[in-house]
C-alpha cells in the first residue's frame, strides 16, 4: 500500500491539466443486427438508443417520468430514418459517439446525420446533411397505437407484478399527424395502481395525505419536420411486437433538422433553445465542462487498465444523460432499455424469453429498489457530479410526507418509514407488501426478503451529509428527511420493545433493534450490523439528530478461527439472500477502512467469514470490489475490477447483462465505478488523503477526483511511484 497524506497544494503537476481533457470518440464501422446493438445518446433527462439496421437509422427515445397508469416507465416511441440510395453501405459507414459534446453521428458515403439531446430542455435534434439531393422517409413507430392487455408474465414491468388485475391494460396513446408535425401523448386515468396500493395496504383513511404522481399524468411529445410531409401509415412487426408507423417523406433532401420535444408532466429545469445551432452549442459546452470535473486516464502501453477506464468513461456518459431528470436514473436499465427479446437468450424451446413490447423491464418502471439505486449514485461524489444526485434526493423529499403519514397511521409514532421495493408514490410495492391476515402488523411487508428492512433510505441521507463536505451549497432543505428517517428508528424500536412487554431501552440505555434485517439476507435479526453502522454514521454527521448517539447499539462482533470479525447481527433466524451486511461498516459507512481504527477486524471479516466468502461475486450489485479497495487488498481489488468492468454481452461495452435485474445494468456500473475510485483515493477520519491505497503498481495512471473540504485531487502513478500530486479547492 502506498499512502500519501495531502493537506494543502504542494506541487503543480506537469501532467495533463483538467481543462485539456476530453474523452476520445467511440466508433463503430459496421451496422448493428438489432436494438441490442444500439449506442446510448442523451442529455438533461432524455436517453436514446441509436443504431443502424439493414440501412435504416433507428432510435428509441425515453424521458425520465413517463409513468403510465400501471407505473410502467414508457418509451416515447421508436423512430426510423430511411434514405434512398443506400448511403450506409459497408465500407462507407461510421457511427460515432462523441462523448466530448454528447452527440451521435452516423455517416455514409454522401450523408451525415447528427443526433443530440438538449441538456437544458427535453428536445432531441436530428440534423441531416447530404452532399446530393435525395429522398428520405422518417417514420414514427408506436406499439401503443391500441390498448394492449398486460399479460401475467409481462407484469414485471409495472407495479402490480404478480397481483395483476384481470383487466390490466396499457392504454393507447393519442397520435395525431399534421402536414409537417406529429404529436403524441399518453394520459393516465384518475384511477391507477396508486389507488389499488392504498386500499391493499389499508391506508384509505389517509389517502388524501398521500403523494400521487400518477393520476391524470399526461406525457406528450411533438415532432417538427421542416421539409417533410405526411405520407400515411402502415402496420408491421419489429422484434415480435406489432406497431403502427406514421410516415413523413421529403423528396429533395439536402439539409434538414427535425426536432422532437417531450414533456413528462414534471417541471423542466431550463428554457427551450432558440434554434438547433444554439442547442448544440450550449449542450456541447455542458458536456465539455462535465468532463473537466474528473477523469481517470491510463498510462501509455497499459491495455488492461485502458480497457477498464474506457468503460468507466462510457458508463459515466450514460449517467450524465439523466443529469437533470425529475426522477432518478433507474438501476434496471435507466433510459436505455431495448427490445426485451434481445436481452436474454431464448429458452430451451427456442422461443423468445421475453416476447414483450419495448416498454418492458424487470423490477418495474416506477418501483425503486433502494439497495440497487444507491450504487448508481455513490460514485457521483468523487466524480464531482453532485448536481446529478438531486433527482434521487428530491424523490425521497417528495415522498417524505407519505412516509411520515404511513408511520403515524400504522403505529401512532413519529418518523418516516421508507421500505425496500418502494413505489414512486412512497408506499411499498403492493406485490412485495404481501398478504396480511387479521392480527398481523399492516405496516410490515410480509415478504421473506424485505420484512423489517427500513434502513436503505439512510444511505441517501448520508450522501446528502457528505455533499455538504464535498461542495459548497445549501442542503438544508433535506434536513427534515434526515431528521424523520432517524426519528423512525428511535421511536419505532422503543415502540417494538414496549409492544413485546420489554423496557424501551436495554440496561445500558440503548435501543434494541429487533425485529430487524441485515440487508435482505439475515432475517429476524437482533442489532443487525448494517443498521447499527448506518445509525452511527448518519448521527455522527447530523448535529440535530433526534436519535442520541448514546442510544445506538454497538456493532456486533464475532470470533472466527480465533480472530475478531464483524458479525451480521447479534443473532438472526435465517439467511434469505446473498448480500454481505457484515461488511457494510466498511462501505458505505466507513467505520472501518484504510487509515481507520480496527482495520484488521474488517480484513478478517472479508477473508475469514464463510458467508462473506461464499457470497463473493462481481455480478450485478455485488460490491466486494468496493470492500477490497477500502481495505487496501490490492490484488483482490484488481481481480474484481477486471471482472466488474468486463464488456457486457451486447455491442456497447457498458450495456451490461441483467445480473440480478435488467439490462443495461446500472447498479453494476455504479459499484464498479465506486470500487475503482476507492482504489485511487480514500480519506482517513481526520480527512487526510490516502492515494493509490489499493491501486496496482503495474497500472500507470493519472486521475482527477473530488474529496471533502471542497478539494480537487490530482495524482499520477508511474512505474509504481507517485510522481505528481495536486490538491486545490473550488
What pLDDT digit, counting tens, does each position of 138-168 carry?
999 999 999 999 999 999 999 999 999 999 9
Q: What is the pLDDT of residues 469-526, one digit of tens each?
A: 999 889 999 999 999 999 999 999 999 999 999 999 999 999 999 999 999 999 999 9
Give residue 665's pLDDT.
98
Give residue 269's pLDDT.
79
Mean of the per-residue pLDDT values of the chain: 95
Sign of CA dihedral 599, 601, 604, 606: negative
Nearest-angstrom CA–CA distance, 46 and 322: 6
E strands present in 351-476: 367-368, 422-423
Q: What is the pLDDT of residues 437-469, one digit of tens each?
A: 999 999 999 999 999 999 999 999 999 999 999
Cell of 425: 408514490
Helix (H, G, I), strand (E, B) or coil at 641: helix
Scan for cell 471542497, then name that residue: 710
Nearest-angstrom CA–CA distance, 69 and 63: 16
Nearest-angstrom CA–CA distance, 546 and 539: 9
Give residue 519's pLDDT.
98
Helix (H, G, I), strand (E, B) or coil at 623: coil
pLDDT at 348 over 80: no
Q: What is the mean pLDDT of residues 113-131?
A: 98
Q: What is the pLDDT of residues 531-549, one digit of tens each?
A: 999 999 999 999 999 999 9
- Reported confidence tier of residue 7, pLDDT bands at 50, 70, 90: very low
**Is the omega angle on the peptide bond into residue 578 within 30 degrees of 0, that is, cis?**
no
Give residue 723's pLDDT.
85
Nearest-angstrom CA–CA distance, 607 and 612: 8
Scan for cell 495533463, then name that residue: 16
Give residue 15's pLDDT.
39
pLDDT at 17 over 60: no
pTM of the predicted model as reported, rounded to 2 decimal places: 0.96
pLDDT at 77 over 60: yes
Cell of 402: 407519505
CB contact set of 562 (below 8 Å; sequence gap of 6+): none
pLDDT at 529 over 70: yes
pLDDT at 6 over 50: no
Q: What is the pLDDT of residues 681-704, one digit of tens each?
A: 999 999 999 999 999 999 999 999
Q: What is the pLDDT of residues 264-319, one digit of tens each?
A: 999 987 899 999 999 999 999 999 999 999 999 999 999 999 999 999 999 999 99
E strands present in 428-581: 516-518, 522-525, 557-560, 563-566, 574-575
Q: What is the pLDDT of residues 392-443, one digit of tens each?
A: 999 999 999 999 999 999 999 999 999 999 999 999 999 999 999 999 999 9
Cell of 165: 388485475
pLDDT at 122 over 70: yes
Q: What is the pLDDT of residues 189-221, one digit of tens each?
A: 999 999 999 999 999 999 999 999 999 999 999
Q: What is the mean pLDDT of residues 120-131?
A: 97
- Residue 178's Cβ-count burial label (10 Å; 0-12, 13-18, 19+) is middle
Give residue 14's pLDDT.
35
pLDDT at 11 over 60: no
Cell of 34: 438489432
pLDDT: is 351 or 626 the higher one? Answer: 626
pLDDT at 570 over 60: yes
DSSP, residue by residue, 122-142: SEEEEEEEEEEEEEEEEEEEE
Q: H-type helices in 514-664, by residue range?
A: 529-541, 599-608, 610-614, 624-630, 634-644
Beta-ladder partners of 276: none
- Reported confidence tier of residue 8, pLDDT bands at 50, 70, 90: very low
Main-chain dihedrals φ then ψ at residue 164, nearest 5 degrees: -55, 130
Q: What is the mean pLDDT of residues 71-75?
A: 98
Give residue 268's pLDDT.
83
pLDDT at 5 over 60: no
Q: What is the mean pLDDT of residues 65-77?
A: 98
Nearest-angstrom CA–CA distance, 340 and 361: 7
Nearest-angstrom CA–CA distance, 244 and 174: 12
Longest Cα–Cα distance in the chain: 86
Amino acid at each position: 500500500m502506498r499512502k500519501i497524506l495531502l493537506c494543502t497544494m504542494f506541487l503543480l503537476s506537469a501532467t495533463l491539466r483538467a481543462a485539456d481533457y476530453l474523452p476520445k470518440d467511440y466508433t463503430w464501422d459496421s451496422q448493428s443486427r438489432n436494438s441490442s446493438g444500439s449506442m446510448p445518446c442523451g442529455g438533461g433527462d432524455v436517453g436514446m438508443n441509436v443504431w443502424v439496421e439493414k440501412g435504416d437509422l433507428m432510435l428509441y427515445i425515453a424521458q425520465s417520468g413517463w409513468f403510465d397508469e400501471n407505473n410502467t416507465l414508457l418509451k416515447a416511441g421508436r423512430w426510423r430514418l430511411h434514405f434512398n440510395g443506400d448511403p450506409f453501405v459497408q465500407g462507407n459507414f461510421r457511427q460515432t459517439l462523441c462523448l466530448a459534446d454528447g452527440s451521435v453521428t452516423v455517416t455514409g458515403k454522401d450523408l451525415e446525420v447528427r443526433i443530440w439531446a438538449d441538456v437544458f430542455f427535453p428536445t432531441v435534434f436530428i440534423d441531416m446533411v447530404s452532399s446530393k439531393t435525395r429522398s428520405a422517409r422518417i417514420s414514427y413507430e408506436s406499439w401503443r397505437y391500441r390498448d394492449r392487455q398486460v399479460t401475467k408474465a409481462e407484469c414485471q414491468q409495472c407495479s402490480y407484478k404478480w397481483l395483476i388485475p384481470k383487466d390490466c391494460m396499457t392504454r393507447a396513446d393519442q397520435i395525431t399527424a399534421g402536414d409537417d408535425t406529429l404529436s403524441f401523448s399518453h394520459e393516465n386515468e384518475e384511477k391507477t395502481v396508486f389507488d389499488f396500493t392504498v386500499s391493499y395496504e389499508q391506508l384509505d383513511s389517509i389517502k388524501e395525505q398521500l403523494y400521487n404522481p400518477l393520476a391524470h399524468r399526461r406525457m406528450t411529445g411533438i415532432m417538427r419536420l421542416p421539409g417533410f410531409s405526411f405520407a400515411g401509415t402502415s402496420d408491421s412487426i419489429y422484434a415480435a411486437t406489432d406497431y403502427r408507423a406514421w410516415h413523413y417523406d421529403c423528396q429533395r433532401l439536402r439539409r434538414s433538422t427535425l426536432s422532437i420535444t417531450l414533456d413528462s408532466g414534471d417541471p423542466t429545469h431550463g428554457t427551450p433553445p432558440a434554434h438547433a445551432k444554439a442547442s448544440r452549442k450550449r449542450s456541447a459546452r455542458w458536456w465539455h465542462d462535465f468532463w473537466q470535473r474528473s477523469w481517470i486516464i491510463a498510462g501509455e502501453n497499459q491495455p488492461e487498465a485502458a480497457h477498464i477506464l474506457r468503460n468507466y468513461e462510457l458508463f459515466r456518459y450514460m449517467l450524465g444523460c439523466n443529469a437533470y431528470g425529475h426522477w432518478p436514473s433507474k438501476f434496471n436499465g435507466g433510459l436505455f432499455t431495448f427490445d426485451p427479446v434481445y436481452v436474454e437468450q431464448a429458452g430451451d424451446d427456442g422461443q423468445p424469453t421475453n416476447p414483450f413490447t419495448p416498454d418492458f423491464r424487470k423490477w418495474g418502471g416506477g418501483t425503486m429498489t433502494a439497495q440497487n439505486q444507491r450504487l448508481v449514485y455513490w460514485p457521483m461524489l468523487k466524480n464531482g457530479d453532485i448536481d446529478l444526485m438531486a433527482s434521487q434526493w428530491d424523490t425521497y423529499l417528495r415522498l417524505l410526507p407519505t412516509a411520515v403519514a404511513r408511520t403515524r397511521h400504522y403505529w401512532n409514532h413519529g418518523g418516516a418509514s421508507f421500505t425496500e421495493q418502494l413505489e414512486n408514490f412512497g408506499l411499498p410495492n403492493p406485490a412485495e407488501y404481501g398478504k396480511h391476515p387479521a392480527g398481523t402488523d399492516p405496516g410490515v411487508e410480509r415478504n421473506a426478503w424485505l420484512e423489517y428492512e427500513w434502513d436503505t433510505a439512510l444511505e441517501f441521507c448520508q450522501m446528502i451529509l457528505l455533499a455538504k463536505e464535498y461542495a459548497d451549497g445549501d442542503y438544508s432543505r433535506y434536513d427534515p428527511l434526515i431528521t424523520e428517517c432517524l426519528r423512525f428508528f428511535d421511536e419505532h424500536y422503543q415502540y417494538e420493545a414496549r409492544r413485546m412487554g420489554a423496557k424501551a431501552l436495554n440496561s445500558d440505555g440503548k435501543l434494541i433493534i429487533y425485529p430487524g434485517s441485515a440487508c435482505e439476507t439475515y432475517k429476524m435479526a437482533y442489532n443487525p450490523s448494517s443498521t447499527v453502522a448506518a445509525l452511527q454514521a448518519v448521527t455522527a454527521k447530523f448535529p440535530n439528530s433526534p436519535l442520541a448517539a448514546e442510544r445506538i447499539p454497538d456493532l456486533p462482533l464475532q470470533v472466527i478461527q480465533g480472530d475478531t470479525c464483524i458479525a451480521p447481527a447479534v443473532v438472526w433466524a435465517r439467511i434469505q439472500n446473498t448480500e454481505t451486511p457484515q461488511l457494510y461498516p466498511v462501505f458505505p459507512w466507513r467505520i472501518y477502512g484504510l487509515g481507520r481504527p480496527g482495520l484488521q477486524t474488517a480484513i478478517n471479516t472479508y477473508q475469514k467469514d464463510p458467508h462473506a466468502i461464499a457470497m463473493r461475486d462481481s455480478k450485478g450489485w455485488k460490491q466486494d470490489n468496493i470492500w477490497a479497495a477500502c481495505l487496501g487488498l490490492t490484488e483482490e481489488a484488481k481481480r474484481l475490477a477486471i471482472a466488474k468492468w468486463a464488456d457486457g454481452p451486447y455491442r456497447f461495452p457498458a450495456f451490461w447483462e441483467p445480473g440480478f435485474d435488467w439490462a443495461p445494468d446500472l447498479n453494476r456500473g455504479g459499484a464498479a465505478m465506486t470500487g475503482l475510485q476507492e482504489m485511487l483515493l480514500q480519506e482517513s477520519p481526520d480527512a487526510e488523503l490516502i492515494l493509490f491505497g489499493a491501486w496496482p503498481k503495474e497500472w500507470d495512471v493519472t486521475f482527477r477526483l473530488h474529496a471533502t473540504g471542497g478539494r480537487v485531487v490530482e495524482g499520477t502513478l508511474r512505474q509504481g511511484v507517485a510522481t505528481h500530486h495536486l490538491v486545490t479547492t473550488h
